[in-house]
Structure 1
Amino acid sequence: TLRLEETRFRAMLERGISLLNDETERLGTSKALPGNVAFKLYDTFGFPLDLTQDALREKGLEVDVAGFNAAMDEQRARARAAWSGSGEAATETVWFELKEKLGATEFLGYATENAEATITAIIVDGLPTDEGMLGQDVALLLNQTPFYAESGGQVGDHGMITGPDNLRIVITDTQKKLGDLFVHIGRVEAGTARVGEPVLAAVDHERRGAIRAHHSATHLLHEAMRRHLGTHVAQKGSLNAPDRLRFDVSQPRPITPDEIAAIEREVNERIRENAEVTTRLMTPDEAVKLGAMALFGEKYGEEVRVVAMGAPVDPAEKAAYSIELCGGTHVGRTGDIGLFRITSEGAVSAGIRRIEALAGAAAIAAVEQEAKLLAEASAIIKAPPAELPARIAALQDDKKRLERQISELQKKLAMGSAASAVEDIGGVKFSGRNVGEVSPKDLKTVATDILKNMESGVVTLISTSEGKAAIVVGVSPDLGAKFDAVTLVRIAAAAVGGAGGGGNKSMAQAGGPDGNKWQAALDSVKAALAA
């Protein structure tokens, strides 16, 4: 860890000194380095103002301190203006004050999951305080942290912060404020948290490992999709969590099952390859020349982190299978991902498709569950897994055939019972019947056949399938001038809690939610005929 930090610091120092030398050569007769240049050295390369002043003093030069302070104030004003339009609550102003006072949080999480730190701020109920008491929900700032704060689609880390006097704080989320403040959100489970006290910050190792697997799998997925679907595929959103990943891409049409299978197969081939995953710091231009994919619309600083994994398909094209600009945490080798399974594909909006997938232990658990369900299905159908598709298709065909037979029997039964129950109401033949489970779509056919046998009359049939009432009223042509099927069916529907009804004078259909009142519906039609 120390060697990595030393290497990074030396590289940044060299770039800063190079910039300082270039700017001093441009000074000419001026003896003062412009304040905005000194501020760039501070803001981009981490040069404190006094370090720049010491370097210039040896050359008989000085810094325009007033200009430096003006540049600092201008940056703070821009940050506040950008934040004020972001929709954050007014109470979030506390983070500006803390950042101006404490500076950025140093992130150590690329190299370690455990680190010593100092509590620099405690927030309780939106306000800074010196102590976090037992049982309180707190938001902590540390001078340095191994906890990854949610950004770039990767969720924040969970873990534990411990300290003197048995202090124990369970961290359930890590969020990023104002770009580089890492806020540890949790609850004091033991002891008392105090500003200024040393603590040990420990990330939940198992959870972090699962997140890394999903994040690295997302990079392999992105490249595999571009190779199988086309270079138009570009990331439009992502989620990398411990239990799943979600990946939104530009894609104008649905992805076929064969394409899904090919993409999944290629990702797993890259996982089995067990290639090293490397990270490098470089300028955005250097990264693009290397073949790195940058996200459209993202703003990058003068230095970016480039994550590469997998052996190159064509070394002349780029140096690795996948190369992306990314600030997230990743596995050490692709084999650490373990397994990759795509679970769904669908549309999010016009031209955007969403892939949901599992990696590592989550993917293995899904495979085990699918194997268990397959074994249960085989036991129920009494056939080996290889024969299940054919056996299920045969069962489906049998089911449809039996349904047709039942429908025909129900219609015949309904016709026979309705025809035998003809009443005379004021000289009009009336056949009314609850035909039970006859499908509503078959009622008109049954009513038409009964009317043909009656030659003259009114038929009212009610199906009470699933507790609801479906009603059909038929009127023979010779009674069309006297009775309207639409009017009669609406009367019947009102009795079962329905409203409306449609059709024509000779045949109409309606329904209602209360099938138990079918007799009242028949009685209402009889009353209308007798009126």
Structure 2
Amino acid sequence: MSVDTTLTGTEIRARFLDFYASQGHVKMPSSSLVPHNDPTVLLTTAGMQQMIPYFLGRETPPAVRMTSSQKCFRTTDIDKVGNQRTLTFFEMLGNFSVGDYFKREAITYAWEFLTKVLHLPADRLHPTVHPEDDEAPQLWQEIAGYADEAIVRLDENWWGPPGASGPCGPDSEIYYDRGVAYGCGQADCKPGCECERFLEIWNLVFMQFYQDLDGSRTPLPRRNIDTGMGLERLTMVLQGKESVFDTDLLRTIIDRFATITETPYGRDAKSDTSLRVIADHGRSLVFLAADGVLPSNEGRGYIFRRILRRAVRHGKLLGLDKPFLAEAANTVIDLMGDYYTELKTQRERIIEVLSLEEKKFSQTLNTGLSLLNDLLQDLKQRQQSTIPGEEVFRLYDTHGFPVELTQEIAAEQGFSIDASGFEQSMQRQQERSRAGASNTFAQAQDDRALTEILQRHGTTEFLGYDGLVGSSKVIALVVNGEEVSAISAPQRALVILDKTPFYAESGGQIGDHGDLSSPMGNFQVQDTRRPLKGLIVHYGELTEGHLRVGDTVQADVIEQRRADTMRNHSATHLLHKALRDLLGPQVQQRGSLVEPERLRFDFTSPRPLTSADLSHIDGQINEWIRANYPVQTKIMPIHDAMDTGAMALFGEKYDDIVRVVSMGSSIELCGGTHCATTGQIGSYITVQETSIAAGIRRIEALTGRAADAYLRQRRETVERIASLLQVQTDQVETRVEQILQDLTAARRQITHYQRNEAQAQALSLIQQAQDIAGIPVIAATVSAPDAKVLRDMGEMLRDKVPQGVVVLASDLGERIALQVNIDPALTKRGLNAGKLAGAVGERLGGKGGGRPDSAQGGGKDKTAIEPALELAKAFVRDNLK
């Protein structure tokens, strides 16, 4: 039976998942592009990332056999996007075994799916193995009938962890032979050759080891299977296409923009590349935004911004001067929203995020072009033809101006860029970034030790819902990533107890502080976290005595700190409910911080909140506080919780059994600590509402003691102002308005006097005009309060002295300001105000530039004013034609 080339990408995905489901695998939904509880990577780069906790034994998998189509994102080869197969966003088809089957079944299933389900010709499929793996070649011979010499051994058949450390093992890759027409013509051409003939389509990873940061490997408790096959690449093979961009997964997007730009696809290599980049980056941006990634200058937000900037630049290359990413988003959502339903439910927010950032970057482009043109003008005056690398980097890093665009514009004007200097500047920045991440190794070492403790002792029992004090046993101590049996003061360490009243940082609520005390010593808890699911860890310092594994300690949480935190946490729930009541159910929480001193709440909103909105929210929350609703908690299955209308947080991963917290009409899934009644919150006040990203707003608020202190401070401030103004507190606003009106009138009068004085000075200078080569030249020092008045004086003199040149200098305190005006008729005779300002500004120890008829400049060398004005006269004499 021949290959069905009419299969769509969607149908191929379904066949894969259905096949493995028929082999006892549970279909797993794709996890978010933002990795869950994995700080070693910014984005999900492989299908197995959501499986790592199961492979390491840190969490119990929902099944020992699983299959998925996982959203993945990689920027390793971002500069190659647009060639035949390189993508940033792609789907990874995979099947996984957690301690169940191993190599034999993995190879058998793969061979059956490729040859019997997809009907790919067996003689076109070629396996490769790791040279030290003797079992895999024997299985390929037995299962698929390969001769031993037909199985290629490659050193690169080893799969490493997605981050700095993690599970790994040898792998077996399956290559597809595209035919001799794609080959290099060499007799020894085979899988692994760099030519285009043999295309890797599937990687079967035999997960056997854990790789530490230092590269050492130890066997995993259970042997696992992880396979990965790119959907786009497989679709390219089945549909008989030359490129992944020609498949139905991407061609629809390309054709849409080919129509918009009136650029036929397939006619020109350069425009084809731009169309492909827009197609890939458009998909990437839609999925990043859907998973809550927002543009910023660091981390995954910077990746989002970089992808968007590349897309906009390639749009410009195609002549797209108006915003177009909304069109790309709609095309992607219509194409992929049936399977990835989150795209359709978040369509408006995705489009808003992309549109706002695109608009912002368009402004950045305009700013960058202006800065670049100024830079090129300056280099021309200095007769230099290479843009320094640090200037290229400044445009790129500070202003977001793409390096490629800088290079292109520079070349058009006969300039080159110092690529080496740019790379050095980039390297310095990367070194600074790496320095900021210096704790990664220590964290990984701690995680390794804590994983072993969790496996040995099990989860920590949390007592903190019922009290702040408890008697506990020390079951482990960790210092610098190593377990120790005892610590002595003063020593920093991680303490793990069998049970604890200390709340570990989670869900926005920060961890508790307090003390662990025993007759032998006292440990000050400075933070409490849950680095591994189920394990509560106390971070701090032993301040006196000794502490040993096995000791019984009294665990005391700081009561006032916990009480303030609970007030803020309960108020956060009420705030969430009030926002949804006011703005609608589309409001979603996008983050929170619950501290003793304040609360911070990030949420989606199509618009800023007005003063009236904030007053309404404050009033509503305080009304609920006064109602003194009981705060109730229930433990129930997640499906039952969702049926009650409980709100689940966007992007949060929940267990099958959840804790539901309700207070009045607010019902949320939450594991945090709360007041017993809403009345215990005391009072609530919003202190700030701001934008933190496109479509994301932030509210900061205070409750209880902090709210009382804030209002008391505000009252005292008003009383002090009233005293200074010598009025009653209720008259402060009226008196301030009157003062502002008086101040505005006084400023107008001062400006009037300054203009009259400037006009008088300017008129007196007309008599001082010197005749140089037949034209009147005024070069003088004047008194001006600011650069604007100086500019007005120059323009006035130019109008009063036809066919003349005006050069004015004024001491503004920190610098000498310079104004140059030239009659437009003289610009045709070789005089240029911009060049004249540049020459005089340089003599003043600064710079200058501008239009041929009007320019500005200045410097800081006050002793050079007279020589600089004489230079201006010489400039006129030397350059007048």
TM-score in terms of structure 2 length: 0.48
Residue 431 of structure 1 contacts residue 459 of structure 1 at CA under 8 Å; is this kept in 2? yes
2:875 to 524, 528, 531: 528
Residue 238 of structure 1 contacts residue 245 of structure 1 at CA under 8 Å; is this kept in 2? yes
Q: Deviations over 1:342-390 (max 9, x none)?
A: 1111222222211111111111121122222222222233333333333
1:100 aligns to 2:446 (yes or no): no
Specify the structure having the higher radius of gyration (Cα): 1
Aligned in 2, Cα 1:225/1:242: closer, same or farther, shift over 3 Å? Answer: same
Aligned pairs for 1:27-106 within 5 A: 89-106=444-461
Aligned pairs for 1:341-420 within 5 A: 341-420=685-764
SS of the residue corresponding to residue 355 of structure 1 reads strand
Aligned in 2, Cα 1:344/1:79: closer, same or farther, shift over 3 Å? Answer: farther
1:309 to 647, 652, 663: 663
2:581 is matched with 227
Which deviates further from its counterpart, 237-246 or 292-301? 292-301
1:499 aligns to 2:847 (yes or no): yes
Aligned pairs for 1:148-167 within 5 A: 148-165=503-520, 167=521
Q: Deviations over 1:159-200 (max 9, x none)?
A: 0110023x1111100010211111101111110011101100
Aligned in 2, Cα 1:428/1:128: closer, same or farther, shift over 3 Å? Answer: same
1:222 Cα deviation (Å)? 0.4
How many Å separate the matches in 2 of 1:276 and 1:80? 50
1:501 Cα deviation (Å)? 0.9
SS of the residue corresponding to residue 147 of structure 1 reads coil
1:484 maps to amino acid: N
Higher relative contact order (CA 8 A, sep 6+): 1
1:494 Cα deviation (Å)? 1.4
Structure 1 residue ranges without an equivalent (≥5): 1-41, 45-68, 311-320
Q: Deviations over 1:175-230 (max 9, x none)?
A: 10211111101111110011101100100111111110110000000001111111
Residue 161 of structure 1 contacts residue 202 of structure 1 at CA under 8 Å; is this kept in 2? yes
How many Å separate the matches in 2 of 1:356 and 1:515? 49
How many Å separate the matches in 2 of 1:288 and 1:502? 65
SS of the residue corresponding to residue 679 of structure 2 reads helix
1:475 is matched with 822
SS of the residue corresponding to residue 239 of structure 1 reads strand
2:544 is matched with 190
2:479 is matched with 124
1:294 aligns to 2:648 (yes or no): yes
SS of the residue corresponding to residue 191 of structure 1 reads strand
How many Å separate the matches in 1 of 2:527 and 2:548? 20
Aligned in 2, Cα 1:385/1:191: closer, same or farther, shift over 3 Å? Answer: same
2:333 is matched with none
Which deviates further from its counterpart, 417-426 or 332-341? 417-426
- TM-align CA RMSD: 3.1
How many Å separate the matches in 2 of 1:79 and 1:151? 30
How many Å separate the matches in 1 of 2:225 and 2:846? 60
Which deviates further from its counterpart, 425-434 or 494-503? 425-434
1:112 Cα deviation (Å)? 0.7
1:487 to 813, 835, 840: 835
The count of corresponding residues between Structure 1 and Structure 2 is 450
2:564 to 210, 215, 223: 210
Residue 109 of structure 1 contacts residue 145 of structure 1 at CA under 8 Å; is this kept in 2? yes
Residue 407 of structure 1 contacts residue 439 of structure 1 at CA under 8 Å; is this kept in 2? no
Aligned in 2, Cα 1:199/1:339: closer, same or farther, shift over 3 Å? Answer: same
Which deviates further from its counterpart, 88-97 or 205-214? 88-97
1:237 aligns to 2:583 (yes or no): no
Aligned in 2, Cα 1:80/1:112: closer, same or farther, shift over 3 Å? Answer: farther
SS of the residue corresponding to residue 253 of structure 1 reads coil
Aligned in 2, Cα 1:500/1:450: closer, same or farther, shift over 3 Å? Answer: closer
How many Å separate the matches in 1 of 2:752 and 2:582? 51
Which deviates further from its counterpart, 414-423 or 133-142? 414-423
Structure 2 residue ranges without an equivalent (≥5): 1-58, 62-98, 102-207, 209-219, 227-439
Residue 418 of structure 1 contacts residue 432 of structure 1 at CA under 8 Å; is this kept in 2? no
Residue 486 of structure 1 contacts residue 501 of structure 1 at CA under 8 Å; is this kept in 2? yes
SS of the residue corresponding to residue 295 of structure 1 reads coil
Aligned in 2, Cα 1:527/1:404: closer, same or farther, shift over 3 Å? Answer: farther
How many Å separate the matches in 2 of 1:190 and 1:380? 52
2:609 to 255, 264, 281: 255
Residue 467 of structure 1 contacts residue 515 of structure 1 at CA under 8 Å; is this kept in 2? no
1:151 maps to amino acid: S
Residue 490 of structure 1 contacts residue 510 of structure 1 at CA under 8 Å; is this kept in 2? yes
How many Å separate the matches in 1 of 2:674 and 2:591? 18
